[in-house]
Homo-oligomer: A and B are copies of this chain.
Amino acid sequence: MKKPARRSPREGQTRIVREEESEETRRLILQVAQQLFMEYGYRAVTTRQIADACGLTQPALYHYFADKEALYLAMAREELARLKGVLERIARRSEPVSERLRRLASYLLTTTRHDLALMLHDIRYELSAEVRAQLHTLFEESLIAPIAAVFNEGLEQGLLRSPSEGGVDARMAAYLFMSLMSRFVVWGRETLPAVAENRRETLASEQAALLVRVLLYGLAR
């Protein structure tokens, strides 16, 4: 076993620099935690894995975060805040509803390769009641609300069927939209012949267009 490359703090540095380094380390931990937690789930990722990937010892994490759950919470808050910003920006574009939905789908498929349903599972089963409640609300506000806003425009413009016409409300539409971003579709794609890395974005864009087309117009002739 090789020792991981460790960042070597030199003596005599000013307080400012140390604070910057400390903040830098904190951000590194959050980024590594995001990649691991979002792909493998809360339970499967150990604090030592995260520490190792950061070039730190495992106890060092507890200088930055109270415990494993606090680290997950901080990661999730940051991730959801980031998502919220991007999704709201797309939702406000002056483009047709269907085009904005395509952009939302494409973004979710390219950037979050992991399944957000796994995050839902973790929120529901692996975290304490308080954190669960917090993230539950945040999930709704950051992910569902921006998507529902676009569907709501579609309903107001008369492009979509209202619930009384056999359609669904905007929030339900957003959940259906998110469900189509799930592991099943991604998994189906993985069974296709291996795809060159540089074609991934194109594929995601094509798949986004397909998913939105299906959701809007259905499979029937």
**B-chain residues with CB within 8 Å of residue A175 when the two chains form the complex:** 184-185, 187-188
* B218 touching A216, Cβ below 8 Å: yes
* B121 touching A168, Cβ below 8 Å: no
Q: Which chain A residues (163-177) contact chain B, with CB distance < 8 Å?
A: 165-168, 171-173, 175-176
**B-chain residues with CB within 8 Å of residue A115 when the two chains form the complex:** 117, 121
- Looking at chain A's contact residues, the main secondary structure is helix
At the interface with chain B, which of A19-27, A39-47, A61-69, A78-86? A39-47
The count of identical subunits is 2
Contact with B along A120-154 (1 / 0, CB 8 A): 11001110000000000000100000000001001
Residue from B165, B210, B211, B221 in contact with A221 in the complex, judged by beta carbons closer than 8 Å: B165
**B-chain residues with CB within 8 Å of residue A158 when the two chains form the complex:** 221
Docked pose: A57 CA to B155 CA in angstroms: 58
The reply on A56 being an interface residue by CB < 8 A is no
**B-chain residues with CB within 8 Å of residue A180 when the two chains form the complex:** 176, 179-180
**B-chain residues with CB within 8 Å of residue A172 when the two chains form the complex:** 188
* B160 touching A220, Cβ below 8 Å: yes
